[in-house]
Structure formats: structure tokens, C-alpha cells
Amino acid sequence: MEAQKIKNIIISDVDKDLISNINQNKNIYLKIEAKKNEIKKICDFLEQINSSIKVKIPFKYMVKKEFKKRKTFQGFNQSILNYVKREILLNVNKKDIVVDATVGNGNDTLFLANIAHQVIGFDIQEQAINNTKEKVKKYHNVILNLESHENISKLEDDSLKLVLFNLGYLPGGNKNITTLKNSTLKALKESLKKINDKGCILVVIYPGHNEGNKEKIAILNYLAKNKCNYEIKRNTDNPVAPFLVIIKKPFQKEKNTLK
């Protein structure tokens, strides 16, 4: 086994090229040099570094405290789904009712079930519902619906805290069966009506396949047209990589009617 190479990192000199080179060379041991007032810079750097890379950090207690405040960790930026989990942790508690609009294999549903009062899930594939049932079989706060997420409109509750859309196809399933632009947009519009005053909608978009790109265009055009209050989170400059759209109340920056 090749010996680990030691590389000293001066935190004030970190740039994108350095981060890229480090992540391509996992057989490396980093030693960070920083001042006490650079704790945030240390965390910014570590969030972008692969979690398998060993790092010796100064002011360890202060770094841990900052990570706890952010609800992040080393390697956080490596996965867009980490952004999703962070937003859930920041916005959902045990009193809240939430919707998993695309349950898939049940990973998001399970995560929500441990945090929320009740989770209502939707999926059109029986395989997805069955996989999710198995994941949450010990939980009594999950309701699963074998139907399209556009049927969120049928829910009686108009005070949802969060609606999560993890679009695309079922991992490990038939890649030809995906969420579709028209039904996704309809479900998004219905969700905007169901969220309470402190709620939010999270949409993970996968533009790397044909229907996913159509969904991206339709969703972003709709949000822009209606002057919605949203932000986009990316962890790469790759235009076809998955990204997260966070929509929060007030849903509109100006008074107008959502169409």
C-alpha cells in the first residue's frame, strides 16, 4: 500500500483547483494551518473535501461547534442530498406533518419519519411503495399512497410543514419510468396551496436525462414567472448534475396570483 502523502494546507490560500486536486488524490493526509478567526474558512474547506481523506485541524473544538451550528460535516458538499437533509433538520420537528411526494426506495421517507409527526408518501410504482413499507415497518406515523403526487390536492390538511420532491426514476428500478413534467408541475402548484406559513418545498431535479431536463425548465420557468421566493443549491458546475430548489414562504416576492 502506498504511503499517505502529507500536505500542508494554508487555509487562506485555498481555491477551487486545490480542492479538485485533493479530492482526486485520496491517498493523502492534510494538515491545516489557520488562525483562530478562520474557523468558518476551515469548515467551508472541509465541506468540500471527500470524507475519506484524513485531515488534522487546529481549533478542533471550535470547528466541531461551527459544524454543529451549520448541521454539516466534512464531505457535505459531495452529495446534493446532504443539502436536503440539512433543510429538513432546519425546518421540521415532531409536531409537523410532511409529504414525501416521491417515496422511491424509502430512504427519504425513513429520514422524515424520525423527525416529523406524520409523513404522507406518494409513488406510482408498487415496487417503490413495497420497498418503502419495508423500510418504515416499525413506524406508525407513515401513510403511503400508491398514486401520483399530483393527488396531493386530495389531502385535507392545508398546514403541511414540508413537501419533498426527489424527482427522476426509481434507483435500481426501470429507468424508463420517471417523474413527468406535467404531473410534477401540477403537484408543485398543489403543494404551494398546502404549505403552512412557515413551511417549505424541496425539489431535487435531475437534468441529466430527457424528462428531467424538461422538468427543470418547466419548474424554473414557473417559479420565475410567478416571482416565487426560491433559491438553488448546487455542489458542482456540471450543468447536468442534480441540484436542489428550495421554495419558502412567502412564496412570492410581490403580491400576485400563482398561475
CATH number, residue 123: 3.40.50.150
Give the chain's domain count: 2
pTM for the model stands at: 0.84
pLDDT tens readout for residues 111-164: 999 999 999 999 999 999 999 999 999 999 999 999 999 999 999 888 999 999
Give yes or no: residues 47 and 89 share one domain: no
User: What pLDDT score does 157 carry?
Assistant: 80
Confidence of residue 259 (pLDDT cuts 50, 70, 90): low
The residue-averaged pLDDT of 39-46 equals: 96
pLDDT digits (tens, 9 = 90+) for 169-228: 888 888 888 999 999 999 999 999 999 989 999 999 999 999 999 999 999 999 999 988
Residues 11 and 136 reside in one and the same domain:
no
Same domain? 135 vs 185: yes
Q: What is the pLDDT of residues 70-88, one digit of tens each?
A: 999 999 988 999 999 999 9
Q: Within its chain, how far is the Cα of 58 from the centroid?
A: 30
Last residue of a domain, one of 73, 104, 127: 73
Q: Report the pLDDT value the prediction gives residue 3, as an integer from 0 to 100.
A: 53
Res 1: pLDDT: 41
Q: Which pLDDT score, from 0 to 100, does residue 24 have?
A: 87
Quick check: is 53 in a domain? yes
- Residue 239 domain-assigned (yes or no): yes
What's the angle, vertex CA 128, arms to CA 111 and CA 101, rounded to 5? 60
Q: Is residue 95 part of a domain?
A: yes
Instruction: Tell me: do 180 and 67 sit in the same domain.
Output: no
Sign of CA dihedral 83, 84, 88, 89: negative
In a domain? residue 259:
no
What's the pLDDT score for residue 4?
66
> Does residue 247 sit in the same domain as residue 167?
yes
Rounded Cα distance between 94 and 92, Å, is 7
> Which range marks the domain in which residue 68 is found?
5-73
Find the mean pLDDT for residues 42-69.
95
Q: Is residue 257 part of a domain?
A: no
Among 17, 23, 43, which residue's Cα sits nearest to residue 32?
A: 43
C-alpha cell at 192: 404551494
Q: Which residues of 177-213 are buried (b: 16+ CB within 10 A; e: fewer)?
A: ebbbbeebbbbbbbbbebbeeebbbbbbbbbeeebbb
Within its chain, how far is the Cα of 6 from the centroid? 33
| Same domain membership, residue 212 and residue 181 | yes
Q: Tell whether 64 and 115 lie within a shared domain.
A: no
**Claim to verify: residue 244 and residue 226 sit in the same structural domain:** yes
